[in-house]
Structure 1
Amino acid sequence: MPDQPEELTPHQLNARSLRGIAHPLRMQLLIALRRGGPATASQLAAKLGESSGATSYHLRQLAAHGFVEDAPEHGKGRERWWRSAHDGVQFDDALLKHPDPAVRGAADLFIHEVANIHTRELSTWLGSPDDWSDEWKRSSDLSDMTLRLTPEHAMELVHRMHELVDSYRAQAPAEGTPDAETVRVHTHVFPIHIT
């Protein structure tokens, strides 16, 4: 497992910190650090196909808003290593109704970029079937369901799905367990207009 600070907790987004993360490259950098562990701006630039100047600038912006921090135990000489300071973020829907239009714009950009990330992850999975065993192919899911719910029932459904996922997080297999892989779980619950 990549070196990460122990007992990380999600970072609650607020009007200030939202402005620090609401950028596609910053979100990609943060994901890369969370999944791959500590890295330098140059390593991240190579991984993401960006210039090291761009990754360095955006890492400093993420640090200024508390999303990443130095990982000095990895540094050699002048190399600056970074790591994620949190294991996720929590988005407050109230940010979409913030009185400041810049905050509302950043909130909108953030949630749309999350949807884009979900789309890219799913496309990567679908585009790489030969990378995975038959067992993993049978154990994946691409489903959609339509229900008729009240807002209260929808909220209950969301909470129960999250509780179920968290129960599997608590029983994660030990590092080195054969066939164990990192798994992404996307959930989307939203109303639609039937025409």
Structure 2
Amino acid sequence: MNEPQDSHIRNLDARSLRGLAHPLRMQLLYALRFGGPATASQLAEKLGESSGATSYHLRQLAVHGFIEDAPEHGKGRERWWKAVHKGLRFDDALLTDTSPDVRGAAEMVLHEVATTQTRDLSTWLGNRQRWPEEWNRTWTMSSATLRLTPELTQELVEKMHALVDTYRDRAVGGDDANTAQVRIHTHAFPLTTE
């Protein structure tokens, strides 16, 4: 789950990982990162949860520095929340930490990321007919199987991330009617050939 170097990327450590390692917390953070500021009630409705559960987990995310108040959106008593960082950087050393709790939390986070990515793709496949034809011509769900060493695989991953980074600077503002948030998933892992 390596992300490009950026001051808006949160590095996960053992303490922050424990604060994130819950499926609902990850869904809440994801919703705030990609949907913008929201209240616990709005998030509860969106995610099919109780507002009590979302309120509790939002407070836990705030304690660990993943989200913060968004008072510029609030009116009255409702508390608005926003994501602090644009992304997360996962240190593979968390998977080999001496603490079984840290290793378990790291595994849970990785599996939740994989589930979220699968859900993103399934949502697109289920809703693509609602999008204009030009979007239906520009998506991909491709795969390639290469025979590589770990070093060549790392080089490929770094080059893919560098390429994606070149498009961050070219991103179009939100007021262009022909833009959408485009999700890019990259996976690189060895296959068992038995």
Same fold (TM over 0.5): yes
Match of 2:9 in 1: 10
Aligned-residue Cα RMSD (Å) equals 1.2
Which aligned pairs between 1:167-186 and structure 2 lie closer than 5 A?
167-186=166-185
> 2:140: which partner in 1?
141
Output the CA distance in 2 between the equivalents of 1:177 and 1:153: 39
Q: Is this contact kept in 2: 1:96–1:103, CA < 8 A?
A: yes
- What secondary structure sits across from 1:178 in the alignment? coil
Question: What letter corresponds to residue 16 of structure 1 in structure 2?
Answer: R
Task: Name the aligned partner's letter for residue 101 of structure 1.
Answer: P
Structure 1 length normalisation: TM-score?
0.94
Note the C-alpha offset of 1:137: 1.1
Give the superposition deviation at 1:135. 1.2
Aligned positions of 1:10-159 closer than 5 A: 10-159=9-158
User: C-alpha separation between the residues in 1 aligned to 2:163 and 2:24?
Assistant: 31
Is the alpha carbon distance of 1:104 and 1:40 closer, same or farther for their aligned partners in structure 2, counting shifts above 3 Å? Answer: same
Q: SS in structure 2 opposite 1:127? A: helix
8 Å contact kept, 1:18–1:107 = yes
Aligned-residue sequence identity (percent) comes to: 63
Q: TM-score, normalised by structure 2?
A: 0.94
Q: Distance in 2 between matches of 1:8 and 1:90?
A: 11
For this pair of structures, how many residues does the alignment match?
189
* Runs of 4+ in structure 1 over 6 Å off: none
Unmatched runs of 5 consecutive residues or more in structure 2:
1-5
Q: 1:165 to 1:26 in 2, by over 3 A?
A: same
**Inter-partner Cα distance in structure 1 for 2:82 and 2:111:** 25
Measured against aligned partners, the alpha-carbon deviations of 1:155-179 in whole angstroms (never above 9, x if no partner) come to 0100100010110111011332232
**Structure 1 unaligned residues grouped into runs of 5+:** 1-6
Query: Is the CA contact 1:8–1:85 (under 8 Å) kept in the aligned structure 2?
Result: no
Question: Once the 2 structures are TM-superposed, how far is the Cα of residue 77 of structure 1 from its aligned partner?
Answer: 2.1
C-alpha displacement of 1:8: 6.4
